[in-house]
Structure 1
Amino acid sequence: MKKLITLLLIPFFTLACQKDSVEIIPNIRFTAEINLDNPQYSGSNPFIVMPGGTNRYVGINGVVVFEVTPTEFYAFDLMCTHQHDKTGSFFVEEVNKGDVVLKCPECGSEFNVAAEYGSIVKGPAKWPLKRYQTSVSGSILRIWN
């Protein structure tokens, strides 16, 4: 009898233990190369890289990059991780140029891009920003997923 009860409970627990989140930020493949000598990027920390030109795809709709050291960078997707009730995607932005805390104008969530994991400063978002891989060779910063 105990075995029968155990066998009946296994499917229940399997279904009950599903993740409470879904893939908030779509996992797209891209590689972007940024010339750090470009005046558009030099002298700003953090700086934003938008899609266009040779970097047709950069994240979902752009990436924010924070220079930790001349050879170490953090790169995060600009898409807010909060599940909005409305359709469409909402993107974090700098409130003031050079701020390390970016804010979603729709939900008010704030994220620290100077932190290794794009941590949440203020909700309602429950997850940090999506982080991308980076490497530096000379003055070229490569960002990819």
Structure 2
Amino acid sequence: MKRFLSCLLVLLALSCSKFEESDIPYALVYLNIDLRYQDKDLVGLYNHKSITKPRTAGEKTGYAGVLVVCGIDASGKTTYYAYDLCCPHEAKRNIIIEADNAGKATCPECGTEFDIGYGTGAPTKGVSKYPLRRYAVSSTSASGQEWVVMNLN
């Protein structure tokens, strides 16, 4: 009986985990977002922008590009989230997700739909068991008009 309980405890411990990471290769991310000028189209709930090439010297755009989204945080305030454009199920640089203005993004290849408006990047429909790769977004100005997007690790 003790052996059975020990095995059950080990199985329970191993089954409780976060989302797994897909095998999308690590790539540097560093973007400056300025809501007053070149990124003013991001202002407004669920507005989004795909950035696939560096716009200035020093910018890095991840593996397949970066999707920046104006979303909602846990307290109901608007904030910004960023994800790699690569579908984590397909894990191919040329297959990128397509965002809509309702806080969702869809892979055109596998059809998986992801939540992008609340910061999770979690799959909500479809075959992917992996969330989108998320990047850190921080405000760099007191006015909240300038933001920086970077790798979490």
Map 1:13-92 onto structure 2 (within 5 A). 23-38=22-37, 39-43=40-44, 45-50=46-51, 51-54=53-56, 56-67=59-70, 68=72, 69-70=77-78, 72-83=79-90, 89-92=94-97
State the one-letter code of the partner of 2:96: F
Residues 16-68 of structure 1, C-alpha deviation per residue, up to 9 Å, x if partnerless? xxxxx775221112211010123333346231241232164222232222333
State the one-letter code of the partner of 1:42: V
Map 1:124-143 onto structure 2 (within 5 A). 124-138=127-141, 139-143=145-149
Distance 2:22 2:111 in 1: 21
Change over 3 Å in CA distance of 1:105–1:49 after alignment to 2: closer
Change over 3 Å in CA distance of 1:58–1:44 after alignment to 2: farther
TM-score under structure 1 length normalisation: 0.70
Aligned-CA RMSD value: 2.4
State the one-letter code of the partner of 2:146: I
State the one-letter code of the partner of 1:57: K
State the one-letter code of the partner of 1:66: V
State the one-letter code of the partner of 1:143: V
Change over 3 Å in CA distance of 1:37–1:59 after alignment to 2: same
State the one-letter code of the partner of 2:41: Q
Aligned pair count reads 120
Aligned residues with identical type, % of pairs: 28
User: Counterpart of 2:60 in 1: which secondary structure?
Assistant: coil
User: Counterpart of 2:67 in 1: which secondary structure?
Assistant: strand
Q: Which structure would you say has the larger Rg? A: 1
User: Counterpart of 1:40 in 2: which secondary structure?
Assistant: helix
Change over 3 Å in CA distance of 1:82–1:140 after alignment to 2: same
Change over 3 Å in CA distance of 1:121–1:22 after alignment to 2: closer
Distance 1:34 1:22 in 2: 26
State the one-letter code of the partner of 2:120: Y
